[in-house]
Amino acid sequence: MKKYLTLENGDVFVGTACGDLAGEIDGELVFTTSMTGYQETLTDPSYKNQIITFTYPLIGNYGISLGTNQSDKVEAAAVVMKEMTDQVFHYQSVISLDAYLKQSKIPAISGIDTRQLTKIIRQYGTMKASLTNFPIDAQKTANDHQASVIKMASLSTSGDKENDHVVVVDFGVKDNIVRSMQRPGIDVTVVTPDSTYEDISELHPTGILLSNGPGDPQDYSNFLPVIEKLQANFPIFGICLGHQLLALANGAKTYKMTFGHRGINHPVKNLETGDIFITSQNHGYAVDADSVKSTPLKVTALEVNDKTVEGLRYPGRPIFSVQYHPEAAPGPHDATKLFDHFIELMHTNEEVH
């Protein structure tokens, strides 16, 4: 059965349908350079409503395993691959990728030149696309639908008043970020971006974590005044979208990147120590470096390849952020110690060093 991937610029790719064969979808077309970790990627809320192109030519060879998902369902809208294997080789696998996509009602296409597709995205930038079972007008653009990323607030505290208490503002948080904070002596409460400053302060947090998530940070402009109040009273750690929102709340600007950073091999240099980390990233927007100069924030890290802002801190306050994902799901473990650093910061409530 054929499947048609029609891009906003009019290019059409014809391949073989897989996953949910009957499914048709519109979404934002992106690519990731990760060679492994397709299960974590598909269930990452940061990819909500996006059509993911895997640049690695063979996907699905180790199947789907339990305990690997980053949310309770597949968040991606659709999947694009060069080849999806029909054989699985891994002792922990419980189902094949194709069966998992069918079960999750996620359409997919294989058998197309993902290298050519990636070059088009690099040339024209992230764009809308449609995945259909029949050819459509090449001039038709994908419907721009925006589904909510807000979840119901959840409480995961032990009730021990002696414990530290991290409040995670959920813009599309990955499960492994929450798990990275849940440890002996630390309780975690997850709240929605609808929360007010009063809602959060009444939880008596020891620290605030601004989570990752999809989309344009400008869409959360209503939450910026809340961040301004929070940073005056609590330690804050921002990750990915949370990093961008912290920048906006302090007067910096963000911009849409041509094709974003999506992969698990992005080198980042810490400007204060000289250390270089290999990081996992998934974002289509970035903080404008020049705009930071007029804010109280300081740039602490840059992406080695294109010099985009990868880290910020607020001198004199226990506030810092990173553009990349330190929770290593999927990806390298170079930056996992940032969670320990945040915990130390909450205990001392002093300036980030």
> 46-85 pLDDT, tens per residue?
899 899 999 999 999 999 999 999 998 999 999 999 999 9
19 is in an annotated binding site: no
Least confident of 150-154, 195-199, 203-207: 150-154
CB 279 within 8 A of CB 325: yes
Three-class SS of residue 79?
strand
213 is in an annotated binding site: yes
> 105-140 pLDDT, tens per residue?
999 999 999 999 999 998 888 888 999 998 885 333
Q: Answer yes or no: is pLDDT of 317 > 70.
A: yes
H helix intervals, 141-281:
175-181, 197-201, 224-231, 241-249
- List the catalytic residues: 240, 325, 327
In terms of DSSP bridges, do strands 164-169 and 186-191 run parallel, antiparallel, or are they unpaired? parallel
Three-class SS of residue 5?
strand
CA–CA separation, 274 vs 265, rounded Å? 18
5 is in an annotated binding site: no
All CATH 3.40.50.880 domain ranges of the chain, comma separated, are: 154-348
Residue 129 pLDDT? 93
Predicted confidence band of residue 157 (pLDDT cuts 50, 70, 90):
low
282 is in an annotated binding site: yes
The predicted model gives 14-20 an average pLDDT of: 94
CATH dotted code for 154-348: 3.40.50.880
* Residue (of 324, 293, 295, 296) closest to 310 by Cα position: 324
Radius of gyration over alpha carbons of the chain, in Å? Answer: 20
All CATH 3.50.30.20 domain ranges of the chain, comma separated, are: 2-132
CATH topology of domain 2-132: Glucose Oxidase; domain 1 (3.50.30)
> 248-295 pLDDT, tens per residue?
999 999 999 998 999 999 999 999 999 999 999 999 999 999 999 999
pLDDT, mean over the chain: 88
For residues 25 and 350, which has the higher predicted lDDT (pLDDT)? 25
Tell me how far apart the 2 most distant CA atoms of the chain are, in Å. 62
Q: Answer yes or no: is pLDDT of 158 > 80.
A: no
